[in-house]
Structure 1
Amino acid sequence: MLVDNIPDIFIPEIENSPEILVHDFRMTTDNVKSKVNLRMHMFSFLQIGKKEVHFAETSVRVDKNQSILTTKGNCLWTELLDTENSYYCKLFFFSEKVLKDFLKKHPISSKERAQENPFFIIENDNFISAFIDSLSAIGNNQLHQNESLIKVKFEEILLYLSGKYGNQFSSFLQSLIQEKNSTFRDVVERHVYSNLKVEEIAFLCNMSLSTFKRHFKEEFQASPGKWLLDQRLEKAKILMEQRDVKASEVYLEIGYNNLSNFSTAFKNKFGISPKELSCN
Structure 2
Amino acid sequence: MTNPTAIIPGFLFYAYLTAMRKEKVGHIQHNTLVLQVSGQFTLETSGQTVTMRKGEMLLISKNQLAQITKGPLPGEDYETVVITLQEDQLRKIALEDGLEVQEKYAGPPNVLIPVNDFLKGYFQSIVPYVRNPSEDITEAMGILKVKEGVKLLLLAMPQLRNLLFDFSEPYKIDLERFMLSNFHFNVPLEKFARLTGRSLAGFKRDFQRIFGTAPRQWLQEKRLTEARYLIEKKNKKPAAIYLDLGFESLSHFSHAFKKRFGKTPTEWAPGKTA
Deviations 1:220-276 (A, max 9, x none): 458568879999xxxxxxxxxxxxxxxxxxxxxxx96997549xxxxxxxxxxxxxx
Match 2:210 to one of 208, 219, 223: 219
- Which residue number corresponds to residue 169 of structure 2? 179
Match 1:71 to one of 55, 61, 67: 61
Q: Secondary structure at the residue paired with 1:82? A: coil
- Which residue number corresponds to residue 107 of structure 1? 98
- Which residue number corresponds to residue 199 of structure 1? 184
Q: Secondary structure at the residue paired with 1:200? A: coil
Deviations 1:54-108 (A, max 9, x none): 34x6333121253112234443222233333521111112321111001111123
Quote how far apart the aligned CAs of 1:155 are: 1.8
User: Structure 1 CA distance, aligned partners of 2:187 and 2:128?
Assistant: 41
- CA distance 1:67–1:218, shift in 2 (3 Å): same
- Which residue number corresponds to residue 133 of structure 1? 124
Q: Secondary structure at the residue paired with 1:25? A: strand
User: Structure 2 CA distance, aligned partners of 1:161 and 1:54?
Assistant: 22
1:44 aligns with 2:44: no
- CA distance 1:97–1:202, shift in 2 (3 Å): closer
User: Structure 2 CA distance, aligned partners of 1:40 and 1:34?
Assistant: 16
- CA distance 1:10–1:207, shift in 2 (3 Å): farther
- Which residue number corresponds to residue 150 of structure 1? 142
User: Structure 2 CA distance, aligned partners of 1:123 and 1:188?
Assistant: 33
Query: Where does structure 1 lack aligned partners over 5 or more consecutive residues?
Result: 1-6, 232-254, 263-280
- CA distance 1:121–1:230, shift in 2 (3 Å): same
Q: Secondary structure at the residue paired with 1:199? A: coil
User: Structure 1 CA distance, aligned partners of 2:110 and 2:189?
Assistant: 15
1:88 aligns with 2:73: no
- CA distance 1:160–1:260, shift in 2 (3 Å): closer
User: Structure 1 CA distance, aligned partners of 2:36 and 2:24?
Assistant: 17
Match 1:164 to one of 156, 160, 178: 156
User: Structure 2 CA distance, aligned partners of 1:204 and 1:165?
Assistant: 35
- Which residue number corresponds to residue 245 of structure 1? none
Is the 8 Å Cα contact of residues 75 and 204 (structure 1) preserved in structure 2? no
Match 1:60 to one of 49, 53, 63: 49
- Which residue number corresponds to residue 239 of structure 1? none
The code of the aligned residue for 1:61 comes to V
Is the 8 Å Cα contact of residues 91 and 165 (structure 2) preserved in structure 1? no
Is the 8 Å Cα contact of residues 31 and 164 (structure 2) preserved in structure 1? no
- CA distance 1:96–1:213, shift in 2 (3 Å): closer
Quote how far apart the aligned CAs of 1:27 are: 0.9
Is the 8 Å Cα contact of residues 185 and 219 (structure 1) preserved in structure 2? yes
* Aligned residue pair count: 216
- Which residue number corresponds to residue 236 of structure 1? none
User: Structure 2 CA distance, aligned partners of 1:67 and 1:153?
Assistant: 15
- Which residue number corresponds to residue 246 of structure 1? none
- Which residue number corresponds to residue 240 of structure 2? none
- Which residue number corresponds to residue 22 of structure 1? 12
Quote how far apart the aligned CAs of 1:44 are: 0.7
* Percentage of identical aligned residues: 14
